[in-house]
Structure 1
Amino acid sequence: MATGQAPRNPIPAMRTYPPVEHPVVVIGPQYLAQYPVELAVNRDFNVSGINGTLIFQVKSKLLSPRRRFLKDAAGNTLVNLRHKIRTMHGKWEAFRGESEEQSDLIFTAKKSKMFQFKTELDVFLGNNKGEVPDFKVKEGNSESSCSILLGDSNTMLAQVHGRHTLAIMPNVDYAFIVALVVVILNGDNADGHGDAATTSLNVLNGVVEGLGSAA
C-alpha cells in the first residue's frame, strides 16, 4: 500500500461467553478476539460478522476444483486448502497463502475412522507428526451442527449451528475456525463436482460420505 500500512482486519461484533483458558493461535494472532465471535456463512460463501461486516471470502478456481482459498475481506489469500484424493481417510491439507510447500503446511484434517455414522475429524497442526490430534470436529445431536474441540478434551473452541452460523469462543483464532468449516462444508463435494456455495448449505454430515468416497 502507498501508506506503507497493512489494511486493518474487520473486527467481528461482540457476544458474551466465558473465555478458553489459553489463547489458540494457528493462522495468526491478529485473528484473536477477547470476546466471543459469531460469524455467518452466506450462499456465496462469504463470511460476515453479526453486524453484516464482511470478514472472509472463500473462493475456488476453475482449474483447481479440489482446492479452496480462504481470503480476507480485501481479497488477500490467507490459506489454501487442498483435498488429497485416494487417501484412506480423505485428508485435507491447509497451507499458508497460496503455497503448497510442506514448510508452509498449517494443518491437516481427516476422518477419525474410515467408517463412521457421525462426522468426526482429527486435525493435526503442521508440525505434529504423532497420532494424537491437536483438535477434533464432532457432529452434534443433529446433522446440522458440530463442535470443534481442543485435542481429545471437552474444551469447546467453536460450534457450527444450522449449517451456516459459527459461534467461536474468546481467544480462539477465528480464521482457523473458518478454515476448518471450509473443510466441513466442502466434505460432501470432495469429488470436485458441483458448486461450493450450494454445497455449503447441504447437511454437514455429508463430510462423512464425501471424504469416504475419495478413499
Structure 2
Amino acid sequence: MATGQAPGNPIPAMRTYPPVEHPVVVIGPQYLAQYPVDLGVNSDFKVSDINGTLIFQVKSKLLSLRRRFLKDAAGNTLVNLRHKIRTMHGRWEAFRGESKEQSDLIFTAKKSKLFQFKTELDVFLGNNKGEVPDFKVKEGNSESSCSILLGDSNTMLAQVHGRHTLAIMPNVDYAFIVAHQVVILDEINADDYGDAAINSFIDGFHYQKFA
C-alpha cells in the first residue's frame, strides 16, 4: 500500500499507450534512442537535453519568413522547411539538408481540416502519394500541449508539455519530432490565429536570423 493511501481507496489507473513496435526513422537512425528522450526549448530556440547539452537549433535566413532550418549542435543543416504559399491547408514541406529537390523531400504536413477549433495536422512521408497520413498531430486541451501519433492509431510517439518540453518515446526519431513539432506547428498556429496566438504558443520564443 502506498504511503498515505487510505485502506480500500483505489489508486487511479495510469493511462498507457501502445509501445512503438518498430523504430520510427525519418531523418536518420542516429536520432534514435532506446529510452525516452526529454528535450527543452529555450528563448533562443535552441533545443537541449535534460543536462543542458545543445542538441539542435532552429534558424531562418534574413528576410525569409517562410523558411526554417533545423541544424545540429555543430551548425550543420539537417532539414529545411518551407511554407507552400497559396495552399488552403497551410502545407509545409521538409527537405533534406538545404535542398529544394523533390527527390530530397522528407515529409509534408498540412492541416487536417480547413476550419478547425483545435489544431490537427496530417503528416505524409515523401514517398506517400495517398490520402492516409503516416503521422497525426493533435492539439491537447491547450495550445501549449499536443500529441504526435503514428498514423490514425493511438500509438503515441511524442508529446509537448508546457510549451517548453518535448517528451519523446523510445525508438522514435527525435530530430523528426523537433522538425515538424516545434517548427511547423507553431507556424500553422500563427496562420490560424495571428501573432497573439503564436506568442502564447511559443511563450516568447524567437528565431535567430543569419545572413
TM-score by length of 1: 0.80
Shift of residue 163, structure 1, vs aligned partner: 1.2
Q: Distance in 1 between matches of 2:151 and 2:189?
A: 24
For 1:128-143, what aligned pairs fall within 5 Å after superposition?
A: 128-143=128-143
Residues 190, 198 of structure 2: 8 Å contact kept: no
Structure 1: runs of 5+ lacking an equivalent: 1-16, 205-215
Structure having the higher Rg: 2
1:95 alignment partner in structure 2 = 95
Deviations along 1:145-164, one digit per CA (max 9) or x if unpaired, are 00000000000000011112
1:183 alignment partner in structure 2 = 184
Q: Distance in 2 between matches of 1:42 and 1:69?
A: 17
Q: Distance in 2 between matches of 1:128 and 1:60?
A: 27
Q: Distance in 1 between matches of 2:24 and 2:199?
A: 28
1:36 alignment partner in structure 2 = 36
What is the percent sequence identity of the aligned residues?
A: 85
> Kindly tell me: are residues 57 and 173 of structure 1, through their superposed partners in 2, closer, same or farther at Cα, counting changes over 3 Å?
same
RMSD value over aligned CA atoms?
Answer: 2.1
Q: Distance in 2 between matches of 1:124 and 1:168?
A: 19
1:212 alignment partner in structure 2 = none
Q: Give the counterpart of 1:202 among 186, 200, 207.
A: 200
Residues 18, 169 of structure 1: 8 Å contact kept: no
Structure 2: runs of 5+ lacking an equivalent: 1-16, 203-211
> Kindly tell me: are residues 51 and 199 of structure 1, through their superposed partners in 2, closer, same or farther at Cα, counting changes over 3 Å?
farther
Q: Distance in 1 between matches of 2:121 and 2:43?
A: 24
Q: Distance in 1 between matches of 2:142 and 2:84?
A: 28
Deviations along 1:85-126, one digit per CA (max 9) or x if unpaired, are 110101000000000000000000000000000010000000
Give aligned pairs, total.
184
Runs of 4+ in 1 over 6 A off after TM superposition: none
SS at match of 1:178: helix
TM-score by length of 2: 0.82
1:109 alignment partner in structure 2 = 109
